[in-house]
Structure 1
Amino acid sequence: MKIVIAPDSFKGSLTAKQAAKAIHTGLKRVFPAADYEIVPMADGGEGTVQSLVDATNGQFKTAQVLNPLGQLVSAEYGFLGDGHTAVIEMAAASGIQFVDADTKNPLVTTTYGTGQLMLDAMHHGASSIVIGIGGSATTDGGQGMAEALGVKFLTATGLPIKRGGGGLADLARIDVSGVDPLVKTTKVRIASDVTNPLIGPEGSAAVFGPQKGATPAMVNTLDTNLAHYAAVVKQTMGRDLAAFPGAGAAGGLGAGLLAFTNSQLESGIEIVVRETHLKERAVGADLAFTGEGAIDFQTQYGKTPVGTAQAIKTASPHAKVIGLAGNVGAGIDQLYDLGLDAIFGILPGVVDLPTAVATGEANLARTAENIARVIK
């Protein structure tokens, strides 16, 4: 029997690698002689760096960068096992965790540190970068990121504009003559399932600005500034990104990456499936286990359990794919038509969240073992 184990992380409890190990422990009690393929997974969000580095036997690197408030911090990213593909989470440098109720302000927060991470990866030999762009504290259209790569954003008098979404109002000219040469030759794959445009009622300021501290008045200002920014980008770079699906991701970082780097938007789970060679490793599988902290109606929208199940079914149509979750929510019925054959909660009874988090490993192992006993 061949069994594939390919879970995402269980947020706050286990990394994807730890979750996979726990499932493996439980299954081995029943099927000790099975052929196991263990593939830690992610969907481009939090934990993607950890999962891809673990799944490919890669390595981690640390760089000193500026956080959204311009403070120097240490940020971690990874290199995959191939040695030339870097994987970055923009949140490591520019995430919402760096601000609080008193300091979050998308008029001033910047993606500059994300650009620094990208440049550090390029100068360490990355010819390809996978960048997950969830969890941002910014609405600067990726201006800060591009500035770190060497793009100059200038006022009418030739001075640099201020960083942050507020500074975009003063943008008169963009100068790309000083961009690091490695930027042009490095392929950037943007892991995002967000389809929002840069501006408008469904744009980055209107939809995501409030959670980053934007008042209604600030939302209007940011949207106006991003529209102006998009117009100057179009004039300089020849790309009209104002209404481009996905350009509004991460406060417009999607737009900045598309405008100033050799990049393309891709589904996060599809990138991870490809980089981990999940389909190739799942050929001939009889049984598969996936999962994450919660499985509910949102799981159908680009989340790991469905993406993983579909990839495994492509490789082995007759394999049965089982989803495990700390919390099984409403609206899971449609998931059975999207690749999952069964879904199980792992908690032994009613417990509080700290207890559930602390006992995740044992709960996963026990649930996997009991499922395996039924199958046997």
Structure 2
Amino acid sequence: MKIIIIPSGFKECLEAEEVASAMDKGIRRFDPTVNTIVIPMVDGGEGFVKTIIRIKKGNLIFIEATGPVGEKVETYFGMYVENGVKTAVIEMAAIAGLKMVPHNQRNPLKTTTFGVGELIQAALDSGADHILIGCGDSGTSDGGAGMAQALGVRFLNQEQQVIDINGGGDLHHIAHMDLSNVDARLSQVQINVACNWHNILCGTNGVAHVFAPQKGATPIEVELLANGLEHYANIIKKVTGIDVKTLPGSGASGGLGAGLIAFTGAQLFPRYEIIMKYIQIEQHLQGADLVLTAEGCLDRQTPNGKIPAEVARLAKQLGIPVIAITGTIGKDAWVNYTSGIDAYMSIIQKPTSLEKAMEDAAHLIADSAEAAVRQIQVGYRIAERKYRKGII
């Protein structure tokens, strides 16, 4: 049997490589002779830099920058050279990710992307010709205003006084913005962004309404954020002429996508389109009997460009069955049956706390992978028995 293991990471818990290793371990516990091919996938969030740099045989560069709650933290970006082009790889989750926000401070009204701007500056200082940014797993919703400030954008109030934007809750104070001090080097580099193409900045399906609750926002705070981002988008259009409200990807990472478009001239791409340039999976799918994928939460948002759905789409073109292993089965998870996932299962088999589940995640994932292939084996035996009896 040839099984392709193509998981994403479990947010705030295990990176994709750790999930893949656990799945492989579970399968081999059942049958060590199974031919498994392990392809950890990243979607622009946690693990993005390390995966790309490993593939490109580049280097990690460690620096100190501003974390999402305003304190200095150690972070990193990657650098590699190919065909004479020096590329910096940045992962917003490594400096402004949700996992970096203490649980008692999870309020997107007060978290910042300032550190993302500092990472971009560090990449420019290192001589980057090209910057690749992964947007995902954010703990912010400031529309990239923090990042913009780090790059030289000045935000002004009604009295034309410079103000600090320290989170999405401050966006409504902006009356004007001054771009005269923006780092000039930004116009000399190509910036590409891997993001969720389906996320938009404003409206009923805007990023505040869809994702802010996951970052700790109450219903009232969600509306404050939504109104603030709408106001912010109006100011951006007034000053730059760019209407970022509903551009594809503009809502990525709490609106960081919009800020990257408006202030750095970045081009946004569906994250899977970017990642597939680095991680080739089609050739490995040839001749596969089964694909196992995984993600932390499988729900109605999964078909909107998330790894399990994209993997299933490719597998279905080749007629390969797909099973997804997930930490949580979320709302309307059944829609994934329409996206090519044939079956899914949660790693949680008995009542437990979130903390305990995350602590035991690798073991639970291995158990689930073993259970999946054991069930497949049962199906094989039933089919074999019927075949011998001439029923099929």
TM-score range, shorter chain: 0.7 to 0.9
Q: Distance in 2 between matches of 1:234 and 1:279?
A: 41
> Structure 1 stretch 48-57 or stretch 235-244: which is displaced more?
48-57
Provide the aligned C-alpha RMSD in A.
3.8
Residue of 246, 260, 263 corresponding to 2:263: 260
Task: Give the CA deviation at 1:136.
Answer: 2.6
Q: Which amino acid aligns with 1:137?
A: T
CA contact (8 A) 1:105 1:213 kept: yes
Task: Give the CA deviation at 1:253.
Answer: 1.9
CA spacing shift, 1:205–1:289, aligned 2, 3 Å: closer
Q: Which amino acid aligns with 2:24?
A: H
Q: Distance in 1 between matches of 2:54 and 2:244?
A: 35
Q: Distance in 1 between matches of 2:266 and 2:106?
A: 31
CA contact (8 A) 1:289 1:321 kept: yes
Tell me the residue number matched to 1:335.
Answer: 336
Give 3-state SS (helix, strand or coil) of 2:268's partner: strand
Give 3-state SS (helix, strand or coil) of 1:244's partner: coil
Q: Which amino acid aligns with 1:264?
A: Q
Q: Please, which runs of 5 or more residues in structure 2 have no aligned partner?
A: 382-392
Tell me the residue number matched to 2:31.
Answer: 30
**CA offsets per residue over residues 179-219 of structure 1, 9 Å max, x none?**
24145422221412553333x55545566566555784894
Q: Distance in 1 between matches of 2:94 and 2:277?
A: 23
CA spacing shift, 1:22–1:57, aligned 2, 3 Å: farther
Q: Distance in 1 between matches of 2:25 and 2:55?
A: 18
Q: Distance in 1 between matches of 2:352 and 2:108?
A: 34
Within 5 Å, which residues of 2 pair with 1:213-252?
A: 213=217, 216=220, 219-220=223-224, 226-252=229-255
Tell me the residue number matched to 1:39.
Answer: 39
**CA offsets per residue over residues 69-115 of structure 1, 9 Å max, x none?**
43211123445796955443323323444355568462x54321111
**CA offsets per residue over residues 124-164 of structure 1, 9 Å max, x none?**
4361313214433342x322212222334456777533223
Q: Please, which runs of 5 or more residues in structure 1 have no aligned partner?
A: none
Task: Give the CA deviation at 1:223.
Answer: 5.5
Q: Which amino acid aligns with 2:92?
A: M
User: TM-score, length-normalised on structure 1?
Assistant: 0.78
CA contact (8 A) 1:209 1:219 kept: no
CA contact (8 A) 2:66 2:115 kept: yes
Tell me the residue number matched to 2:151.
Answer: 149
Is residue 2:382 matched to residue 1:363? no
Give 3-state SS (helix, strand or coil) of 1:25's partner: helix
**CA offsets per residue over residues 33-75 of structure 1, 9 Å max, x none?**
73x4321013334444455556666554322111234321112
Tell me the residue number matched to 1:169.
Answer: 173
CA spacing shift, 1:283–1:112, aligned 2, 3 Å: same
**CA offsets per residue over residues 220-241 of structure 1, 9 Å max, x none?**
5x65654554344224322122
Q: Which amino acid aligns with 2:152?
A: G
CA contact (8 A) 1:149 1:180 kept: no
Within 5 Å, which residues of 2 pair with 1:9-88?
A: 9-11=9-11, 14-28=14-28, 30=31, 32=33, 34=35, 36-53=36-53, 59-78=59-78, 84-88=86-90
CA contact (8 A) 2:195 2:252 kept: no
CA contact (8 A) 2:8 2:16 kept: yes
Q: Distance in 1 between matches of 2:106 and 2:373?
A: 47
Tell me the residue number matched to 1:5.
Answer: 5
Residue of 278, 289, 295 corresponding to 2:298: 295
CA contact (8 A) 1:30 1:372 kept: no
Is residue 2:352 matched to residue 1:352? yes
Q: Distance in 2 between matches of 1:101 and 1:25?
A: 35
Give 3-state SS (helix, strand or coil) of 1:6's partner: strand
Q: Which amino acid aligns with 1:112?
A: F
Residue of 179, 182, 185 corresponding to 1:181: 185
Tell me the residue number matched to 2:276.
Answer: 273
Task: Give the CA deviation at 1:256.
Answer: 0.9
Q: Distance in 2 between matches of 1:280 and 1:18?
A: 23
> Structure 1 stretch 329-338 or stretch 189-198: which is displaced more?
329-338
CA contact (8 A) 1:146 1:260 kept: yes
Q: Distance in 2 between matches of 1:294 and 1:370?
A: 23
User: TM-score, length-normalised on structure 2?
Assistant: 0.75
Tell me the residue number matched to 2:113.
Answer: 111
CA spacing shift, 1:100–1:24, aligned 2, 3 Å: closer
Give 3-state SS (helix, strand or coil) of 1:75's partner: strand
> Structure 1 stretch 97-106 or stretch 124-133: which is displaced more?
97-106
Give 3-state SS (helix, strand or coil) of 1:291's partner: strand
Tell me the residue number matched to 2:319.
Answer: 318
CA contact (8 A) 1:204 1:252 kept: yes
Give 3-state SS (helix, strand or coil) of 1:285's partner: coil
CA spacing shift, 1:85–1:289, aligned 2, 3 Å: farther
Q: Which amino acid aligns with 2:70?
A: G
Give the share of equivalent positions with the same residue, in percent: 32
